[in-house]
């Protein structure tokens, strides 16, 4: 395998992956429509991500995964496809439903269609799935065993009760790691899209004899992630607020948590999935296996920037947000020998050092909140 196509390859994960694959001697082609939300109005001047790959040696095709002609042309001579192109804002997916399904579902359907109906040499497809497909992760109830709480109720959250309860007996539950066999019950349109993408690609692998792999990434962060897109990633949002010396608006009570995985660990995992035969037909969680609370994220960022803004624990919440989720990564460890190397403290140090080299971007977060408020999705 020599020729690799990365759809969405100008994005955060794709651009870092492209650069790493080039150093390993692959020929890399990137298909990306340079979506304005990620890359700004004029990518040559407004997108650091695009500039990173522009002179990297990767072939670049500007176009959409929803365009048949472009996709047919770009697939020719490829041995492997890493399908990353997507609309990725979980909150935004709740009110831009058609746009999300168009790119995420129809783009993947077109890819599957072209691979089924056109002659090609593709042997391997890796699709980016997400922890979002699990919705609220796995919990343990001392009466009922393993349980999967559904979306929390508006009324309980309004009263400041944010923890999940057992869906069977309503007792308190203990958070445990979510493994790949955990219940899939997404709480966002984005999560539904990711589930659909993953299922389509895995099914295709079976019927066409293409080696397919789905990677359920947890919350990916690191240098080069977009600092201006207010729809993704609390690390970017908080960084922009801190650098603008605005107080941090901490949702819920700040004890909600996620599994934050550093970009280099994610690109390494993706390369393992491309190169190792053991990945064929398999689905893997890619995270660190460690959960970090939003309060701890905020404290770590404030300490690293050395700008002491107040942390305002607002009790605000977004309907559809999950409380906790962290990955059981033992399958990826066992089959792919995937071992995340960068601790959260080290990753934040590297991330904030990079942010400090970037211009302070305008804090657009409030307008994204106002947008959600107007749709009744933010309380």
Closest CA to 197 of 368, 65, 295, 352: 65
Handedness of CA 91, 97, 102, 107 (dihedral sign): positive
Among 6, 65, 84, 166, binds Zn ion (CB under 5 A): 166
- Is residue 338 among the annotated active site residues? no
Q: Given candidates 106, 156, 168, 307, which one binds Zn ion under the rule CB under 5 A?
A: 168
The CA distance from 77 to 87, in Å, is: 27
Under rule CB under 6 A, residue 12 binds ligand NAD: yes
Q: Which stretch binds ligand NAD (CB under 6 A): 61-69, 236-244, 308-316, 351-359?
A: 61-69
Instruction: Write out the two tokens for 244.
Output: 């603008």
Nearer to ligand NAD by C-beta: 64 or 241?
A: 64
* Helix pair angle (294-305, 344-355), 10° resolution: 50
Q: Taking every pair of C-alpha atoms in the chain, what is the biggest distance, in angstroms? A: 59
Stretch that binds Zn ion, among 52-60, 118-126, 167-175, 243-251 (CB under 5 A): 167-175
**Residue (170 or 353) nearer to Zn ion, CB:** 170
* Marked catalytic residue, from 26, 190, 221, 378: 190
**Shortest separation between residue 57's beta carbon and ligand NAD, angstroms:** 18
Among 115, 202, 220, 237, binds ligand NAD (CB under 6 A): 220
Position 252 contacts ligand NAD (CB under 6 A): no
> DSSP secondary-structure letter at 69?
H
Identify the H or E element spanning 62.
strand 59-62
Nearest one of 108, 110, 117 to 82, comparing CA atoms: 108
The interface partner of residue 85, options being Zn ion, ligand NAD, none and the CB cut-off 5 to 8 Å by kind, is ligand NAD
Q: Under rule CB under 6 A, how many of the chain's residues touch ligand NAD?
A: 29
d(CA 252, CA 314): 7
Which residue in 86, 175, 269, 271 binds ligand NAD (CB under 6 A)? 86
321 belongs to the binding site for ligand NAD (CB under 6 A):
no
Is 237 a residue that touches Zn ion (CB under 5 A)?
no
Q: How far apart are the first and last CA of the chain?
A: 50
The total number of residues shown for the chain amounts to 379
Q: Does residue 65 touch ligand NAD according to CB under 6 A?
A: yes
Which of ligand NAD, Zn ion, none binds 64 (CB below 5-8 Å, type-dependent)? ligand NAD
The C-alpha torsion from 69 through 46 and 44 to 354, rounded to 10°, is -110
Distance CA 39, CA 17 (A): 17
112 binding Zn ion? (CB under 5 A): no
CB burial of residue 201 (10 Å; 0-12, 13-18, 19+)? buried
Whether the Cβ atoms of residue 14 and residue 92 lie closer than 8 Å to each other: no
Token pair listed for 173:
């539950």
When asked if residue 144 is in the footprint of Zn ion (CB under 5 A), the reply is yes
Alpha carbon distance 378, 230 (integer Å): 15
4, 5, 6, 8: which one binds ligand NAD (CB under 6 A):
8
Among 59, 106, 156, 169, the residue binding Zn ion under the rule CB under 5 A is: 169
List interacting residues with ligand NAD (CB under 6 A).
Answer: 7-8, 10-14, 31-35, 38-39, 64-66, 84-88, 103, 107, 128, 130, 217, 219-220
Residues recognised as catalytic: 190
Binding interface with Zn ion (CB under 5 A): 141, 143-144, 166, 168-169, 171
């Amino acid at each position: 395998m020599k020729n690799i196509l990365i759809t969405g390859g100008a994005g955060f994960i794709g651009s870092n992956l492209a650069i790493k694959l080039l150093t390993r001697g692959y020929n890399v082609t990137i298909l990306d429509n340079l979506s304005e939300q990620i890359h700004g109005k004029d990518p040559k001047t407004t997108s650091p991500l695009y500039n990173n790959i522009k002179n990297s040696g990767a072939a670049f095709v500007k176009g959409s995964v929803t365009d048949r002609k472009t996709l047919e042309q770009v697939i020719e001579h490829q041995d492997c496809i890493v399908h990353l192109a997507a609309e990725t804002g979980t909150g935004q997916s709740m009110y831009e439903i058609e746009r999300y399904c168009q790119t995420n579902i129809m783009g993947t359907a077109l890819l599957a269609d072209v691979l089924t109906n056109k002659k090609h040499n593709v042997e391997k497809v890796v699709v980016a799935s997400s922890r979002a497909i699990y919705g609220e992760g796995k919990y343990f109830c001392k009466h009922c065993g393993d349980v999967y709480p559904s979306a929390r109720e508006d009324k309980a959250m309004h009263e400041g009760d944010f923890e999940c309860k057992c869906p069977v007996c309503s007792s308190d539950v203990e958070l445990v790691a979510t493994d790949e066999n955990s219940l899939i019950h997404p709480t966002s349109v984005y999560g539904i899209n990711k589930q659909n993408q993953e299922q389509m690609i895995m099914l295709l692998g079976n019927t066409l004899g293409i080696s397919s792999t789905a990677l359920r990434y947890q919350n990916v962060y690191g240098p080069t992630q977009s600092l201006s897109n207010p729809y993704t990633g609390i690390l970017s949002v908080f960084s922009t607020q801190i650098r603008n010396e605005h107080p941090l608006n901490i949702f819920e009570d700040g004890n909600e948590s996620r599994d934050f995985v550093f970009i280099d660990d994610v690109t390494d995992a993706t390369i393992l999935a491309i190169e190792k035969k053991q990945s064929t037909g398999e689905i893997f969680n890619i995270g660190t296996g460690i959960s970090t609370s939003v309060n701890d994220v905020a404290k770590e960022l404030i300490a690293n920037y050395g700008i002491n803004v107040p942390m305002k624990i607002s009790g605000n919440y977004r309907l559809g947000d999950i409380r906790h989720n962290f990955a059981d990564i033992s399958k990826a460890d066992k089959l792919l020998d995937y071992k995340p190397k960068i601790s959260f403290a080290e990753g934040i140090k590297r991330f904030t050092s990079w942010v400090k080299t970037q211009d302070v971007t305008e804090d657009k977060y409030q307008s994204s909140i106002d947008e959600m408020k107007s749709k009744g999705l933010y309380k």
